[in-house]
Structure formats: structure tokens, C-alpha cells
Structure 1
Amino acid sequence: MSNKALSFKRPEANLSSLELLAAEFSNTDAAIAEIARLSAVQTLPRGAIHMISDIHGEDKKLRHVINNASGTLRPIVEHMFGDTMDRETLKEFLTITFYPAEVTEQLEQTLTDPLELKAYARKILNPQFELLRHLMANYSLKLATELLPVDFKNLLWEILHAPTREHGNEFVEAIIDELQRQGRLLHLIHIVGRLIRNLAVDELIIGGDCWDRGPRGDRVVDYLRLQPNVSFIWGNHDALWIGAALGNDALICTALRVSLRYRRISQLDEGYSIPMTPLEHLAREVYANDPAEFFMPKGSGMRPKELVARMQKAIAVMQFKLEGQLIERNPQWQLDHRRLMHRIDLDNGTIEIDGVVYELRDKRLPTVDPEHPYTLTTEEQDCLDRLKGSFLSSQKMREQVRYMVGHGSMYLQRGDCLIFHGCVPVDTEGKFLDLEIDGQALSGKALFEEIEVVVRRALEQRKTPDLDFLWYLWCGPLSPLFGKDRIATLERDLIADKTPHRENKDPYFDLIHEAGFCSQVLEAFGADPEQGLIVNGHVPVKLKQGESPIKRSGKAITIDGAFSEAYGDHGYTLVLEPGRIVLAEHHHFESMESAIKDGVDIVPKTQEIRVFDTPQQTKDTERGQRIKYRMMELNRLIEAYRSNRLHEQ
């Protein structure tokens, strides 16, 4: 049946945008009611936004930080129930709030007595519902409804409104009795616990670098995909894994090399179904007698460390060759000085870098042909072909990369915060530097936005120039995700002299201590140059050396707090609340088992960064801007109805 509201007396181009809106609000009263509802929503407190950066594969720690809402749930629970719960009950309630699935799974096995189960359910569910009501008060009814699990939506609404009924306790008891009879009582506790966590954080922003160094980057992305509202800012390690997943040869080798260096092989073979057999075969056949003493992996694992070292060396040499090929086919980047393999003198055991000759500490390079130093041997090419096939056929990797690209961007603005991973490439005077993309020289905001175009295009088309550009994002001198003049992997692997190991940072990292420069960056990206705050990750804050995450300018902050154990095992969450911005500093997380069994928690140290004179409302946010636009469109619809240019239904 056609919708009469979509018919109009005469065709007008400016009415076409109202067609879908008219289908949803088919008369004036419906549109007016929606405007009134949205006007009320605009007055609600802005939702809490949590920003975490540089997770680097630490899946268990990330999971706990998400589960306890970066430490913000505990004080709410203690405030609400501290006077009515004893210490053990409070700990028990917090544990099931943080780990509802795991705790209820254990209780399924241990809590078998019906009376004990019912008593436990009353003890947990009543405060759960009270906490749920408290958190839902900050949400519009429509948004809160969207967060409710579909199968239990109607039941939960009934329970949440039960206290207003004349026989509230009897009403809830009837629900508990039936769920117990059906064996689903603990499941209700589970889903309410998960809903509490989801309501505690309106948006989770990941500031880049989900993979590398930590044990399971695949599980990091898996868990993030389970969260209701996640946005990504891409980091250079994300560019590395996106490019590897899409088939860039050099990035495949790099991802493998880093995984082998830190013995993170399980994320490849278990997580992504990428077997190491081809590389292991190459190492055994070609590097069988090589001690590979300068490639010894960190940590421990099932494979002999000597074998892992040979595997790492084999893939590193392949990486260096393939990077040389990639640089040669992209002369616009002017990186010929970083093609290093032809500068190796095997006869003398030396290498020339930037005009200086250094002795090689490892002179065993059996696959390097001095006449063709960038050509893979037959054995190397066969190994690469097999590994590449595994990367391209990994369904899980493909799904994760598509999710990250679909939910990701180069920068975001939330309130006063301008968020991006690394830097804005500049010279020593603070002038934005150009990078050529698709024949255009771009800088600043235009550069960031064009990079997004290339990344999304690479996902869909997988053309070589775009995949090569992902390599440049990983380690190119003018990459906003990298911010150094070079990545000195070859130098660190093959040269004992530390002089060529140095990687010089972009001047940006010094200039963000100056308020004027920060104002320049904020204004260029459309943020408030006076009140704005630049939020970066990428460079770990040296907490042990007393370094502060807040820059001297007071207008920039680094939230890479060395989340990964390999970097320092700390980490930050920047929390945007209606009335303030808070930095939460995390510490070592023992294990999920100790959290469940002993109630071990990460209770972060917090520091207020900004306090607002007036608490921010939804109207002050990006969501508020979208609502404002929708209200304008609804007013246009009302005007069209009243002028009879559109017919009401």
C-alpha cells in the first residue's frame, strides 16, 4: 500500500529529502511529538565517554578495564550500597557485575539447591535492578530500549517498573519463580550484569594500536566487537595488521616478525588459523645451523627458542627485501635512502647507512644475493605465497579488519577533545607538512581525511598503491600514525653500534608543550582553539621517570600509559563525564581468575583534568548536533504538511 504522505501536489527537489521522514511521521502531530521528545533528550546529561589507547594485545587487562568501566562503576556501587551491604556481599556484587558470564557459569555448577538459588537471586537481582534504574536515568527511553537484550526487553521493562506497582514484590517474585522453574534465573542475572556495564559507558573510543607485543590482539578486537558503541582511531600498528590482512607482502612479514619476536604465535595459529609451518620449514632448511643469536625471542613458549629465532631472522630478511621493492615502486615518498639491502657488503661484513659504514654483527645472510639483493629466493617466495594465502583466507581476520575500518577514522572530536593517535606532521616552526596522496599534496585536516579515503578504498579494492600506502602509514616519516624519520628495524637487528638505531621524532611532540601551537592544531581541525584539548596516544608516558601525561601547554594530553606489559603494564583511560574530564591511571592486572575468585580489581588513581562550570548536556555533544539537525528536518516536514505541499496520512 502506498503512503499518501509521500504524494505531493507538485514535484519539488527540496522535498525529496523528506520522503523517508514522512514515512516515519505521517502527520503533523507525530512530527510535533517527536520534536518535543528530542527537545527533552537534549537536556539529559551527556553520556560518559571512555578513551583507551595502545592496548597492544593485552586482552585480559582490557577486558577487566571495560568490565569495571575504568574504575567508575565501583564508587557508584559503594555509594549506593555501602551502608546496606557488608564487605563480603559488596565484593560479591562487584564481582558478578564485572564478570556476569563467568560467575553465573560457575554458579550453574555449584548453586544447585533451589532455595539457595532463589535466595541468592533475590540478594543480587534487587540491587542490580536498583543500579540499572540509576544508570538508565541518564538515557532517553528510546536509546535505553535499544540497549536492552531483545529476548528479555519486555520482561526487563516490567521488572524495572515493578516498584511503582501496588504489589511490586509479589510481581517480581512471580518472575523469579518462573525463571527458576525454567532454569533461566542465573541467565537473567548474567544479562542484567552485562546491561549494567553497557549503560555505564555511552561510548568507548580506542585511540589506536590493538595489536603487537601483548599476547592476543585477536581477542582484543573480539571483545571490542561485543561492546555496544565503539569507535576506533587508527594507530600505526592497526595500519600494519589491516595491510597484512589485505595482502601487502611487506606488512605480512612485519606482522609475523613482531609476533615471533614477542612469542605471540598463538594469535596467528589459534586466533587467525594461520599456520607457521611454511616459515618453520624455511628456518629448518635454510637457517638450520644459524645460531641467530641476535634474533632470540622475548618470553617463553612451546617451540625451542633457537627455532623461533631462526624463524624471526628468516622473515626479517624477507621483510627487508620486500620493503626495498615497495620503496622502489613509490618514488614519490623519497625514501630511497631507506633501501638498505644493496648497501650490504657481504665480503667485508659491512653496511653503509647515511654515508657511514658500520660492521654487521650478523654476517650470515644465506638468502641475500649481492647481485639481486631485493629478490626473494625460490624458497622464500614459496614460503611467502603460502603465508599470504593463509592471511587472505582467514575469515576471522577479514571480519575484524572490516569492523575496524568500518568503525574507525583518523581523528574524532568529542566535546572539547580532539583525538588522534600520533601527530600532525610539522616542521620545526610548526608548519604543517605536505604528503602526496593520489597526486595531491595534502596536510593537516585535509591529509587526515584523505587518508581515510585511501584506507576504505584499500579494504574494498585491494589495489597495490593503496596497500603500499598502508605500509607508509605504519612507518613512513610523514605518516600521522608514526611520527618518526625512520623505523630502524634492520639497524637494530644487524648492527651492534647504536648510533644508527636512533629514530628522530616529529617536531610535533616537542611543540605540543606550547599553547600557541596547540591552538593552531585545534583550530585547523575545527575544535575550539581556546578550550580544546588534544588527546594523543602512540608515545608511552614514562611514568617511572616522573613524566606527566599532561603537556606543559595544558592543552594536550597523552593517554598511552604503557598499557601492555611489554611497555610497562600501566595504562590510562580518559573519561569524559558531564561535569568534568578525568584521567584514570591503571596498574598491573593479575588475572581474570583472581578477579573472580578473590575480588581482585584495578582501582585506578584518578586526576581531574578539566572541571566544567556547567555540566554538559546532550545538546552540547555530537549526538546533540545530529538531534538538532533532525529537529530542523522535522520542522521542515511540519511546514510542508501545513502548506499542503505534502499530504498527511
Structure 2
Amino acid sequence: MEKRYLELLAKEYPNIESAATEIINLNAIQCLPKGTEYFFSDLHGEYEAFIHLLKSASGVIRTKIDDLFGKTISKKDRIQLAELIYYPERQLREITLEGEALEDWQRITIYRLVQVCKKASSKYTRSKVRKKMPAEYAYILDELLHADESVDKEYYYQSIIQSIVDMGSTDTFITAICTLIQELCIDRLHIIGDIYDRGPRPDIIMNELESFHDVDIQWGNHDISWMGAASGNRALIANVVRMAIHYNNFDLIEDGYGISLRALATFASEVYRKDVCALFVPYVWDENKYAPVSLELAAKMHKAITIIQFKLEGQLIEKHPEYQMDDRALLGKIDYKKGVLCLDGKEYELKDTKFPTVNPKKPFELTKEEEQLIEVLEGAFKHSKILHKHIHFLYSHGAMYKCVNNNLLYHGCIPMTKDGTLEEVEFYGEKYKGKDLLDYLNDKVNEAYFGEEGSREKEDASDFMWYLWCGSKSPVFGKSKLACFEQYFLMEEEAKKERYNPYYMLSSKEEICNLIFDDFGMDKKSAHIINGHVPVKMKDGESPIKANGKLFVIDGGISKAYQSKTGIAGYTLIYNSRTLNLAEHKPFVSNPKEELHKQTPKVSIIERMSPRVTVANTDIGKELSKQVEDLQELIKAYKEGAIKEVF
């Protein structure tokens, strides 16, 4: 080991005693059970449901309460204790007890919360737990969690609780310990893509993720769309605005990101004033609180931005013939006199033939007014500080895939051929497949946002973000086409069909998963693939567990838009030191008094760990082992006199 590195290490551990103490500490940490990892996918803006799942640890907190108190307190009291932990401020406001009855409830509740907190903190070092504690109560919480059970200590223990009650600090203390329990139950959070679109407020989800202590994100196609829009891709700017209007998410655009749609509203009202735009009436899953727009106006805005998007996409397709997406430039395949779309040798009658801004001879050319409008939107996206704060977080905490603790995480697919081999995909004259493909695309995504402003490389990468959003060889999309135009304008279901990459059929075979594990250099005996993107239709008998437990598809439809098709509201995969668990979510209803206790997910054990997984068996454990080796080298240097100790 280089002496220079050891000298740097010596600044933190200046003598043998300090280095030896740290080795003891690191070895002790490696003997602890691994922290609990949570895997979510396809959140799609459903912030209320997601925050509830975080606060409840997807039902795990309720399970801990039942384990502790199942034989000693009633089910009703256990439910109330769980709801207090999830939403302490709200539940405390609803307490109606007074006098001695209130004080008794406070003492009993604090005692019970301490027991739950002890159970939740049992797998962590004392110092790690203390770091998570709010500063004002750190000493008291530390004492309560580690007080001996002896008779002498019992009086001390009860005295602390009584002091909290006497000082009138119960509400703030209860809130603090409830928050600590929440944080202790989820050690690490993995988001397997698609935070954005469909649901009302992905920006609130991003705020929540930014405040979480350990989180990583694997980009989904909807995240890529927003990242591309933030990079300046006009087609994707139009796309994310279209999606927001389609699902009536005006609050997201205007209140969340401060992007005014007034210019679009003015343009649409004028251009489509005689058009009811019946095909473009938005879905209304959620009401807007801050930026309500009438459905009549929203439909006109929806159609206006959709036509602009199709024009901009046509321009990209013409600019980049290497995308091989001429079949998607559909405004150029319309016979405007006959009112039909000429597609794959067939003519399809259009449900709407009113295109006042389209020049049939130059179908992808924006009108002067459309050009001005997209410039206004582009400027608004460029200058939204909150949007770029969130996009920076997606970049700093995200990637195309992640290998963690022998689990391979990615959103969509690894492109494959029908015969079960990794598909070679050519971009810019070079061919890539499997891991190499995802690594290459990871670099392109970063170039789109962080590349040198005005450079050809950045421009090409920004354009390429649109291909990643909807291109047939894109791993985050993985379909033959995005039939957006067909969904709006055609009746025939055959024209709307999107064929999935062969991966989605083949990956249910264990040997295909093993092929992927080999390509990523993973131990296929115990490895898992965890991905989302395609909702699991539980009501049709589909299972999220595939390939003999090698593959988990955890998109079960947390988005309201999917739940009628899936029959469920998504999944959480939970990996602790003893078991791998699958939590089946129930549709979230934001009525705390009537429905909250009914929304606890059903948690099932799908794999048992034997022996119990310790920190030493994790990626973190490997890093700690390297640190131990470095410290041992430092101690050797001290003993040999190569580096002098400082006392």
C-alpha cells in the first residue's frame, strides 16, 4: 500500500490505539444483522399512498406491534398504537382524554413506544441509532432504549417517563420517538423507476426521497422523459405537459414546478375554439387544489400540446434516421383529404380529422404561434429551480441499473432475441448488449444533462433521451412502439397493439435469469432480479414471483390508473436479515378515521435466509473489510516506524 495513502489515513487515526479501536468497531458492526431494504417500483406520482407505505414500513411496524403485544393488549389498541406511529401529530390532536386518564394514557403509550423502538433498533449499533435521534431528546431516548431491566433501573426508567409527562413534553416526545421508529424500520430504500406521470404529485414524492437517509433510484422511462425535458428536449417537454394534462395534474406543473400554462391555454382557446376536442377530455383521478382548469379548456389544451408533440417527434425522426423510427412519424402518413391514416399497408379511419395547425405538405412544421408557445414552455422548464433540484437528485442518486447485495435492479428489461440470447443493439456505429448496453446508455443520459452547453455531443444526447423514452430497443421501454397516436385517433385495437421485447416472456425462465446474472458478474445461486414497468395483473392469476424465485416484478399498480386492471395496488419487496418478503398493497383511501387500519399490506415470506444475513455478507460489509485491512496496514507501518504515532 502506498505510504502517501497511509499518511492520509494516519490523520484520522494518529496512533495504534485509535486504529485498533476502529478495527474493533468495524468488526463488531460486521457481526450485526443486515439492515432492512425496501424495494418500490412505479410510484407514478401517488404521493399519499407512497408516504403512507413509508410511514408504516409497508405493514412491518404493525407486525412488530403484534409480535410484542399480541397477547397482552387488544387488537383495537394495537391498531391505535400503529396509527399513532404512522401519523403522530394527527393522532395526538384527536385525543379527547383529560386529567389522570390522559396522564395514564401518556405513560402507557410512551412505555409501549419504547418497546417498539427497542425492537426496531435491535439490529443497529447504539451509535447509529443515536445519530438518528432528534438532538433535543437524544439523551433521554438513549437512556430509555438501553436501561437495564433490573429492579434498581425500573424506578429510574419510570421516573424518566413521569418527568416527560410532568414537564408537558409528551406530544413532542411521542412525535420524536414515532419518527425514530419509522426511520429505523427502513434502513435502505430502492426505487425501481417511474416516479413520474399519471398520479397527482411526483414532486412531493421527490421531496420525500430527498429527505430520506439512504436511497437509490433506477430510472424508468417516465423518469427519463422528465430528465430529457429538463435537458431541453422539446418533444419531451411537450410529452410531460401532455401527460400532466391527460391525467388532470395541473397542480404538478403550475404549483409544484411553477411552470405557467397560461400561454398554452390562450393558444388552445383560440385555435380550437370551435372544436370540443372530445377525444382529449382528461382522466380525473384526482382533483386539482391550486390550479383548477375546466375540463372543456383542459381538452383543448390537451389536443394542442399533443399535436405539437407529434410534430416535434416527427422532426426528431427526420433529424435522426439512425433511430429507425420512420413508422412513428404518423402526421406524415395521414391522407388529410380522405381522413385516414396509412399504416402498415392499411388505411384506418381517423376518429378526429380537425388539424387546423397542420400543413399536409409539411406536417412536422410548427406554426409561428406553436413555435412561440414551445419557446415559452422551454424557458419555463429551463428556469424552474425546483424541477432542476429534483432532476439533479435523480442523477446523483440514480442510474440505469444497480447491483446491490447480489440483487440486480432495473426498471424495464435487458433486450433479448427470441432464441434467448442477449440482443445486440447498434447505436452510432457501435454494438452493445446486456450490461455493456446499460453502461453505454447511462453515459448518454448523463451527457444529455451535464454535457457542455452548445456542444454537438450534448445536443445528440438530449435528442436521444426521446428515443430512450419510446424507442423499441430502449431497455426502459422495451416495446415495439408507443402507440400514443393510435390510442387517440384510431378505433381498431390491432393498430394499438404494442409488442413486448422477448425478454418479458423469456425472463420467467430460470436459465434466462442465470444468463443475465453471468453477464453482470453476479452469484447466480442466490441472486435475484427486481424490476417493474409492466403491471402484474393479480386478478388474472399473474404472480410477481417468476423464474423459481429468481425474478420479482413489483409493479402491481400503485397508480390508480392501473388498479382496475391489476386488482391490487402494487407491491413492496422487503429484504431483512432473516427473510425476503412481499407486501401486497391495498388501494389507498385518505380517510384516516374510517379506512387507515384496513390498508395494512398483506406481508408474505417468500424466501428464508439461512444462515441469517449479517452486515459482513453485504456490499457494505465488503467495504468494511477493506477498511479493516487498510487499518491493519497502518498499524504495521506504526510498528515498523515507517509512520510516526501522534498522541
Equivalence for 1:101:
89
Q: 1:412 to 1:142 in 2, by over 3 A?
A: farther
- 8 Å contact kept, 1:233–1:420: yes
Equivalence for 1:443:
433
Q: Deviations over 1:566-612 (max 9, x none)?
A: 10152111111212211111111221x32x56652423233332222
- 8 Å contact kept, 1:49–1:577: yes
Q: What amino acid maps onto 1:201 in structure 2?
A: I
Q: Deviations over 1:247-299 (max 9, x none)?
A: 22111111111111111211111211222211111110101111212112112
Any idea what SS the aligned residue of 1:547 has? coil
**Correspondent of 1:53 among 8, 27, 41:** 41
CA distance in 2 between partners of 1:106 and 1:460 (Å):
49
- 8 Å contact kept, 1:350–1:360: yes
Equivalence for 1:640:
637
Q: Does 1:126 align with 2:111?
A: yes
Q: Deviations over 1:7-53 (max 9, x none)?
A: xxxxxx81233344222111112112211221121111111111111
Cα deviation, residue 426, structure 1: 1.4
Q: Deviations over 1:426-448 (max 9, x none)?
A: 11122223344566432211221
In the TM superposition, what are the counterparts of 1:343-382 in structure 2 within 5 Å? 343-382=333-372
Any idea what SS the aligned residue of 1:600 has? helix
Equivalence for 1:9:
none
Q: Does 1:213 align with 2:198?
A: yes
Equivalence for 1:177:
163
CA distance in 2 between partners of 1:141 and 1:459 (Å):
41
Equivalence for 2:296:
306
CA distance in 2 between partners of 1:17 and 1:334 (Å):
51
In the TM superposition, what are the counterparts of 1:561-640 in structure 2 within 5 Å? 561-568=556-563, 569-591=568-590, 593-594=591-592, 599-640=596-637
Moved more, 148-157 or 633-642: 148-157
- 8 Å contact kept, 1:402–1:459: no
Q: Deviations over 1:299-320 (max 9, x none)?
A: 2754332221111111110111
Q: What amino acid maps onto 2:333 in structure 1?
A: R
Cα deviation, residue 452, structure 1: 2.3
**Correspondent of 1:144 among 110, 129, 140:** 129
Q: Does 1:227 align with 2:215?
A: no
CA distance in 2 between partners of 1:191 and 1:170 (Å):
21
**Correspondent of 2:266 among 281, 284, 287:** 281
- 8 Å contact kept, 2:480–2:499: yes
Q: Deviations over 1:316-339 (max 9, x none)?
A: 101111111122222332222322
In the TM superposition, what are the counterparts of 1:538-553 in structure 2 within 5 Å? 538-553=533-548
Q: 1:87 to 1:580 in 2, by over 3 A?
A: closer
Equivalence for 1:432:
422
Q: What amino acid maps onto 1:546 in structure 2?
A: G
CA distance in 2 between partners of 1:143 and 1:469 (Å):
43
Equivalence for 1:8:
none
Q: 1:317 to 1:547 in 2, by over 3 A?
A: same
RMSD of aligned Cα (Å) = 2.3
Equivalence for 2:402:
412
CA distance in 2 between partners of 1:81 and 1:26 (Å):
49
Q: Does 1:556 align with 2:532?
A: no
Q: What amino acid maps onto 2:189 in structure 1?
A: L
CA distance in 2 between partners of 1:335 and 1:19 (Å):
57
CA distance in 2 between partners of 1:78 and 1:88 (Å):
11
Q: 1:613 to 1:159 in 2, by over 3 A?
A: closer
CA distance in 1 between partners of 2:46 and 2:570 (Å):
11
Moved more, 512-521 or 491-500: 491-500
Cα deviation, residue 142, structure 1: 3.4
- 8 Å contact kept, 1:434–1:443: yes
**Correspondent of 1:515 among 497, 510, 526:** 510
Cα deviation, residue 167, structure 1: 5.0
Aligned length: 631
- 8 Å contact kept, 1:46–1:577: yes
Equivalence for 1:470:
465
- 8 Å contact kept, 1:332–1:436: no
Equivalence for 2:146:
161
Q: Which runs of 5+ in 1 are unaligned?
A: 1-12
- 8 Å contact kept, 2:219–2:400: yes
Moved more, 62-71 or 404-413: 404-413
Equivalence for 2:477:
482
Q: 1:159 to 1:326 in 2, by over 3 A?
A: same
- 8 Å contact kept, 1:411–1:419: yes
Q: Deviations over 1:600-633 (max 9, x none)?
A: 2423233332222311111111111111121121
Cα deviation, residue 540, structure 1: 0.4
Q: Does 1:324 align with 2:314?
A: yes
Equivalence for 2:60:
72
CA distance in 2 between partners of 1:114 and 1:632 (Å):
60
Any idea what SS the aligned residue of 1:220 has? helix
Q: 1:452 to 1:169 in 2, by over 3 A?
A: farther
Any idea what SS the aligned residue of 1:351 has? strand
Q: What amino acid maps onto 1:61 in structure 2?
A: A
- 8 Å contact kept, 1:240–1:471: yes
Any idea what SS the aligned residue of 2:562 has? coil
Cα deviation, residue 354, structure 1: 3.0
Moved more, 80-89 or 569-578: 80-89
- 8 Å contact kept, 1:358–1:495: yes
CA distance in 1 between partners of 2:644 and 2:420 (Å):
57
**Correspondent of 1:262 among 240, 243, 247:** 247
- 8 Å contact kept, 1:287–1:310: yes
Q: 1:20 to 1:117 in 2, by over 3 A?
A: farther
- 8 Å contact kept, 1:159–1:172: no
Q: What amino acid maps onto 1:526 in structure 2?
A: G
CA distance in 2 between partners of 1:271 and 1:583 (Å):
32
Cα deviation, residue 128, structure 1: 1.4
Equivalence for 2:9:
21
- 8 Å contact kept, 2:62–2:79: no
Q: What amino acid maps onto 2:62 in structure 1?
A: R
Q: 1:646 to 1:307 in 2, by over 3 A?
A: same
CA distance in 1 between partners of 2:618 and 2:484 (Å):
43
- 8 Å contact kept, 2:588–2:599: yes
CA distance in 2 between partners of 1:391 and 1:446 (Å):
32
CA distance in 2 between partners of 1:76 and 1:40 (Å):
25
Q: 1:72 to 1:174 in 2, by over 3 A?
A: closer
Q: 1:543 to 1:174 in 2, by over 3 A?
A: closer
CA distance in 1 between partners of 2:450 and 2:581 (Å):
39
Q: 1:588 to 1:313 in 2, by over 3 A?
A: same
CA distance in 1 between partners of 2:107 and 2:538 (Å):
45
Q: Deviations over 1:505-528 (max 9, x none)?
A: 101001112222111001111222
Any idea what SS the aligned residue of 2:200 has? coil
Any idea what SS the aligned residue of 1:419 has? strand
CA distance in 2 between partners of 1:530 and 1:603 (Å):
33
Q: 1:226 to 1:580 in 2, by over 3 A?
A: same
Q: What amino acid maps onto 2:85 in structure 1?
A: T
Cα deviation, residue 170, structure 1: 4.3
- 8 Å contact kept, 1:430–1:511: yes
- 8 Å contact kept, 1:69–1:197: yes
Moved more, 134-143 or 59-68: 134-143
CA distance in 1 between partners of 2:143 and 2:608 (Å):
38
Once the two structures are aligned, what percentage of the paired residues are identical?
Answer: 34
Q: Deviations over 1:199-253 (max 9, x none)?
A: 1111111111111112221122222223222211111111111222332211111
Equivalence for 1:458:
448
